[in-house]
Amino acid sequence: MALVPVKFGIGFLFVRIGLQFYNELISSQYGFLTMQAEALVHVYMDGSVLLTHDATEMGQGLHTRMVQVASIALGVHIERVNTTETSTATVPNLSVTAASASSYLNEMAILRACATIMERLKLLQMRNYDGVWEDWISAGYKPYFLYSYLSSGISLSPKGFSTTSNTGFDSGKVVGNLYNYFTRGAACFEVEIDCLTRDHNVPRNDVIFQIRRTDIAMAVGNSLNPEQRYSPDGFLLTRGPGAYRIPAFTDIPLEFNVSLLRGASNPKAVHSSKAIGEPPLFLSASVFYAIKEAVKAARSESGLTGSFRFDSPATAMKIRMGCVDQFTEQVHDPNATRVKCASSLNCTSQL
């Protein structure tokens, strides 16, 4: 038996998100083609590989996917492949890293650049069947005779380009396929909240998805912790860990079960990969609804059974104020923040 008022909640969510949408829709809204990617692949004389592409790594594992694609396409160990930061000095005319399409587009660009390298190495491989990667690369930088002519070597720094393929959608008649494929998934979260201390815990999480990687842990933190709060003068109050609760290891569910669907191939992407951005981010909303159900159970004990407002993210303050009791009733307006600012450098908030 719990000595403190603890309530439990379960949240379930299913998502079906369309990816690689038709470029004409983007062009009509923004006036230019945004869903495209370029990549530059360098192969050095020692056999090492350097990748440069136009996507931005934000913790979603994009660089890792690029390295894996190049490693498989070139047939080299993954430790021989490196990446550099995104820069217009190497790859110009960058597109936005958004809409869960950057991984697919840049993977395809890198794959095409690597295919160019392998095509250029084909003659060298035929001349040396027993050779290894380093032998073929070294030979590519040396003059050799080809059909009685002296060749001065080959270029091993090609570029690759990719853009979202046409889905066949007719915007005039509004017929056809708007997306190239769909990503599906489901998640179920079990949570428990302490109505007195406003703390929460996630004992279990079950996720089933069509992709090889899910960013559920990062998305859960987005649904529970960060919330920007401002003073009436527009001064940002939540400027660091001392002003708001940052995600921690304890936010990860104690039992974290992830299942990947078998046979969910995707011939329209590299190695049957699928988007890893928005789909798992949307699934994390189920933990928010689980907390809302727990708060609803606490409110029912106070005789409140109707609908109530509970905004995301589910911060500790919102959980405590949602569990209405004799203590929260002493607060006149739970959504208001009274601020005392002596200066822009000395600003505090009080409930």
Amino acid at 250: T
Between CA 205 and CA 255 the distance in angstroms is: 6
CA distance 114 to 112: 5
Cα–Cα dist 351/327, whole Å:
13
Q: Which residues pair with 350 in a beta bridge?
A: 338
Catalytic: 278? yes
> Active site residue: 278, 293, 301, 329, which one?
278
Distance CA 142, CA 234 (A): 64
Q: At what angle do helices 133-140 and 102-127 cross, to 10 degrees?
A: 80
Q: Which residues pair with 236 in a beta bridge?
A: 230
Helix (H, G, I), strand (E, B) or coil at 236: strand
Residues of the chain by 3-state class (helix, strand, coil), percent to 5: 30, 25, 45
List, edge to edge, every strand of the sheet that includes 36-43: 81-83, 49-53, 36-43, 159-163
The tokens describing 280, both together, are 């798992």
- Which tokens in the block code for residue 294? 């727990």
Residue 238: exposure state from Cβ atoms within 10 A (0-12, 13-18, ≥19)? middle
CA-closest candidate to residue 128, choices 144, 111, 152, 115:
144
Query: For residue 279, what are the contacts with CB-CB under 8 A and spacing of at least 6?
Result: 15, 17, 100, 183, 185, 209, 211
Give the three-class secondary structure for 321. helix
Q: Are 140 and 91 in contact (CB under 8 A)?
A: no
Structure tokens, 98: 């958004």
Active site residues: 278
